[in-house]
């Protein structure tokens, strides 16, 4: 997966530190399953936020990698959760920075080497570098990309509304008297004095 980690280094500056860590990990040995799925999620989130036309293909390849490389059902479930959390975090970060440099991100996203991967019907995937990964148990890889249109629309609404939420009063209860005043009360809060 060297092509994937090197790609992350140059493509998405927001995640440059994470990508450098992955490259460093690879030099010491293979990248862990969790690090790989987190990196895939971060890239997917930016591609989704910037409206890449190839996001569906990327998601399909990422899901096949997630399923195929997992050593157990528990690891697969943990990987799915980590992938989705990183995807959501990247999407929201891109939304909060005003979709900065999205045209460059889309151009680089759409030209990734990962799109040269070959997926076989039993879930085996051959990466562009020639590495071949066989799933722990064969499955119908054609079912990976079946979508429920209502679920897709609901997910888009969740993503689009995530950056619009307002944080209300936040109370810090020290347990001393239960009436501790809030340190932060939304966007109208003054800066804390002394900091």
The model's pLDDT over 32-68, given as tens digits with 9 standing for 90+, comes to 999 999 999 999 999 999 999 999 889 989 999 999 9
Query: For residue 33, which of 71, 60, 63 has the smallest C-alpha distance?
Result: 71
In the chain, DSSP finds a helix count (H) and a strand count (E) of: 7, 3
End-to-end CA distance of the chain: 44
Task: Say if residues 117 and 127 touch (Cβ distance below 8 Å).
Answer: yes
SS3 content of the chain, % helix, strand, coil (to 5): 60, 5, 35
Task: Say if residues 65 and 112 touch (Cβ distance below 8 Å).
Answer: no
Which helix (H) or strand (E) segment is 115 a member of? none
Instruction: Give the predicted TM-score (pTM) of the model.
Output: 0.64
Tens of pLDDT, residue by residue over 77-108, are 999 999 999 999 999 999 899 999 999 999 99
């Amino acid at each position: 997966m060297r092509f994937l980690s090197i790609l992350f280094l140059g493509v998405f500056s927001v995640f440059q530190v994470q990508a450098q860590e992955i490259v460093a990990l690879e030099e010491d040995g293979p990248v862990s399953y969790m690090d790989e799925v987190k990196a895939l999620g971060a890239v997917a989130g930016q591609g989704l936020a910037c409206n890449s036309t190839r996001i569906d293909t990327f998601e399909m390849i990422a899901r096949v990698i997630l399923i195929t490389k997992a050593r157990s059902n528990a690891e697969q479930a943990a990987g799915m959760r980590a992938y989705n959390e990183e995807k959501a975090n990247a999407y929201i970060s891109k939304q909060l920075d005003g979709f900065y440099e999205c045209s460059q991100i889309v151009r680089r996203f759409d030209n990734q080497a990962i799109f040269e991967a070959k997926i076989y019907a039993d879930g085996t995937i051959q990466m562009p570098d020639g590495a071949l990964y066989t799933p722990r148990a064969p499955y119908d890889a054609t079912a990976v990309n079946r979508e429920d249109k209502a679920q897709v629309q609901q997910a888009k609404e969740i993503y689009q509304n995530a950056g619009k939420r307002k944080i209300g009063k936040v109370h810090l209860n020290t347990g001393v008297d239960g009436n501790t005043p809030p340190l932060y009360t939304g966007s109208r809060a003054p800066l804390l004095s002394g900091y």
